[in-house]
Amino acid sequence: MGRWSFLPRTTAWVVRLLHPSFMAFTKRDWRGVEKLPRDGGYVLAPNHLSHLDPLFLSHFMVDHGVTPRFLTKDTLMTIKGVGRILRGAEMIPVYRATKGAADSLKAANEAVMSGQVVTIYPEGTLTRDPDGWPMSGRTGAVRVALATGRPVVPVAQWGPQAILWPYTKVPKIFPRKTMHVHVGDPLDLSDLEGRELTDEVLNAATDRLMDTLTAMLSEIRGELPTRPRVDVRTLGKPKSNYDELES
């Protein structure tokens, strides 16, 4: 297994399959890796702008010695073939549609406390913003961080949408696209630590995270959003079964 020996067997197999293509067909602008904590588990919180961005974020993580472990919709675990790969790669299912949904982050808490890095998309789905900006967020990422006392690290991504725009099916590989992955400083939640995890506290922390991701993405893109942030609470169901392939 060589250089991928720190990865679960299934993850290492996928990496060996995809890594050469990613190196050949994309360019990389990776910044801020020195901001990743080195003293235990934490939450990685990226914006979500393409069905492909988990792969390219995983490329960044693997090349910096971090095992990709995403909080993933439980429905993906039931898809033939896909589910087997996700389970083998030790992804963490989140059961949104159950009565016990409030406890669905327990496994993520345990993973972070055991020293693992868990990636949680705060939007919970692909952005529906027409220009690809982050939407408002759900509280999962900050809830795990506040519950465990471990950092939540914002990550701004840009580039995967140039290959596959949200809710489209035909990739555009050429010309080669640059995959921007910029890691920010761990979010300062010191004023909220130790407080009861009320809606007010969680929403304040989530708003702070989404403001940070938007500012980071603005730096990458060299522009600012021109319309109000899309509210994830107003979104309808995905338009097709294809749209269910969201992390």
Nearest to 116 by CA among 156, 66, 80, 79: 66
Confidence of residue 236 (pLDDT cuts 50, 70, 90): confident
Structure tokens at 199: 């809606």
User: Which residue would you say has higher pLDDT here, 77 or 104?
Assistant: 77
Q: What is the pLDDT of residues 174-197, one digit of tens each?
A: 999 999 999 999 999 999 999 999
User: Which long-range contacts does 211-218 make (Cβ < 8 Å, 24+ apart)?
Assistant: 212/154, 212/184, 212/187, 213/45, 213/46, 213/47, 213/122, 213/134, 213/154, 213/155, 213/156, 213/184, 214/133, 214/134, 216/154, 216/156, 216/182, 216/184, 217/47, 217/133, 217/134, 217/156, 217/157, 217/158
Domain boundaries, the chain: 2-225
pLDDT at 241 over 80: no
CB-count exposure of residue 186 (10 Å: 0-12, 13-18, 19+): middle
Confidence of residue 235 (pLDDT cuts 50, 70, 90): confident
Q: What is the pLDDT of residues 89-147, one digit of tens each?
A: 999 988 765 655 656 789 999 999 999 999 999 999 999 999 999 999 999 999 999 99
Residue 118: strand pairing partners: 43
Confidence of residue 62 (pLDDT cuts 50, 70, 90): very high
pLDDT (0 to 100) of residue 244: 38
Judge whether 145 and 189 are in contact, CB under 8 Å.
yes
pLDDT at 242 over 80: no
Mean predicted confidence (pLDDT) in 24-43: 97
Confidence of residue 246 (pLDDT cuts 50, 70, 90): very low
pLDDT at 85 over 50: yes
In words, the CATH class of domain 2-225 is alpha beta
Cα 98 to Cα 128: distance, rounded to the nearest angstrom: 25
Report the range of poorest mean pLDDT among 28-37, 112-121, 234-243: 234-243
Residues 6+ apart with CB under 8 A from 190: none
